[in-house]
Chains A and B, each alone.
Chain A
Amino acid sequence: MTTEELDPLIHVPARLKIIATLAALPAGGTLTFTRLQDMIGLTPGNLITHLRKLEDADYITSVKTGNGVASKTSVALTERGRKALDEYTKALRDLLGGL
């Protein structure tokens, strides 16, 4: 096994932190953008970029609620994203076991 076999969407520090943090919630749990940003320490622009990539791959979903100043975006890990993280973790374990 080589690093090329690790999911390239997850095998990036920022996105790994995002997915691992969302995975700490039970299925169906959501985190607001602000809380997620506080928890993993990314800048807003950087976080948005990575969230878009993960959402395009259907690893996360995002929902915007409210209007104007009071609007809030919440993100959640999808079933596909949770499975992807499990597979990534297993692949990582297998790779490191072979090193």
Chain B
Amino acid sequence: MDGTPDTNGTTTADNGGEFDPREAAALLEQTKREARRQLNLAPPVVTAVMAVVVLAAYTSLWLSVRGQHPYTGPADWAIAVTYGLVFLVIGTVARTTKRAIRGVGGTSRRQLQASTAVLLAAWAAVYLYMGALYHAGASHAIVYGLYPATAPLMIVGLVGAALSGAHEDWRTFGTTLAVAVVAAGSAFAGPVNVWLAMGIGLCVALVASTVANVRLHRA
């Protein structure tokens, strides 16, 4: 692409007859691949970082609740570690997104804004519901265990899958659906081990997404 002579005025620029079809096919594939890479909102490095972060965050939460009898919920230090890691991920994603969407407008920009608003609303709704569970007298194992460990990502994962499916973004659809399935399945591990199950399950899902992402860009 960068080696293609481009400064030779009209001779090369307008004379498609000098443009070998094999070179055209190679240039077409290279351009498509490069465009996908530059416009990708979740490049492989981001999903790889997220895989490490979720494993670290959920493992620290699990370590803080092991041996709790009765179950009271994650320790403050583990919650602080989790929020610190979450903010790290948010910062990374924000930087990457800003770079990818620079100069992009029209339907693409509006779709991204609408999707982001829906996901944030879903996230807020899940935590509001947690308050309702607490006030209804649900046990600590539910309010500070099973529910916060799984419900946010299950709901947001399903919303994300619906949005990405509607946009025919099948890679994101697969990843978000996998997140929702991991969350639903991990709930059966109980209030203590749900944190570890989520950490391992999400890490595997994000590593698989990273590998798929790398293969897509090499295709």
Contact = CB atoms under 8 A, between A and B. Distances in A.
Interface in A41-98: 41-43, 46, 49-50, 74, 76, 89, 92-93, 95-96
A73 to B, nearest CB: 11
A28 B2 contact: no
Contacts of A38: 103
Contacts of B19: 3, 11-13
Contacts of B36: 24
Contacts of B102: 35
Q: Which of A26, A46, A93 has its CB near the most chain B CB atoms (within 10 A)?
A: A26
A83 B209 CA distance: 31
B21 to A, nearest CB: 5
Given A17-B1, A31-B104, A36-B103, A12 B27 contact: no
Given A20-B32, A24-B35, A41-B1, A11 B103 contact: no
Contacts, number: 114
Contact of A89 (B6, B28, B38): B28
Given A3-B21, A21-B31, A26-B167, A40 B1 contact: yes
Interface string B14-42: 11110101111101100110111011000
A21 B25 CA distance: 14
A36 B34 CA distance: 12
Contact-residue size bin, chain B (C-beta under 8 Å from the other chain):
35 or more
A28 B107 contact: yes
A17 B108 contact: no
Contacts of B28: 16, 20, 89, 92
Contact of B13 (A23, A35, A50): A50
A89 B29 CA distance: 10
Nearest to B102: A35
Contact of B108 (A6, A16, A26, A34): A26
B35 A39 contact: yes
Interface of A: 3-4, 6, 8, 11-14, 16-17, 20-21, 23-32, 34-36, 38-43, 46, 49-50, 74, 76, 89, 92-93, 95-96, 99
The 5 A-B pairs at the shortest CB distance, nearest first, are namely: A35-B103, A28-B107, A24-B35, A29-B108, A11-B16
Interface of B: 1-2, 4, 6-7, 12-17, 19, 21-25, 27-28, 31-32, 34-36, 38-39, 102-109, 111, 167
15 contacts: A11-B19, A12-B13, A14-B6, A17-B27, A17-B31, A23-B35, A24-B35, A25-B39, A25-B108, A26-B107, A26-B108, A27-B107, A32-B103, A34-B103, A43-B6
